[in-house]
Amino acid sequence: MNKTQLIQTLAERTHLTRAQASRAVDVLFGDDGIIAEALSKGDKVQITGFGNFEVRERGPRTGRNPRTGATIKIGPSKTVAFRAGKAVKAKVAGGRRK
């Protein structure tokens, strides 16, 4: 499902206009959205029944330049991780999980 499909489905299920649904999706998931803003501050976003978004730090490591084969140092970085909640895992598993 892409963003356009998400907006369409949200509009249909909530009886919002597509413009209202689009604004709702942007407020939550956009570049300046609620989730991105919280994560940029280092906060964890917990949505009960759905899952958790959190920032994880990766330590420095060595890598290899694929073109030259030379070893390079890669500095520390941050990445966003998502852990699905029990309800989502159960839905994906087809109801086999409890």
- Return the axis-axis angle of helices 18-29 and 3-14, rounded to nearest 10°: 120
pLDDT confidence of residue 57: 95
pLDDT-based confidence at residue 41 (cuts at 50, 70, 90):
very high
How is the chain split into domains, by residue range? 44-88
Torsion angle, alpha carbons of 83, 85, 86, 90, to 10: -80
Model confidence pLDDT, tens digit, residues 52-95 = 999 999 999 999 999 999 999 999 999 999 999 999 999 999 86
CATH topology of domain 44-88: HU Protein; Chain A (4.10.520)
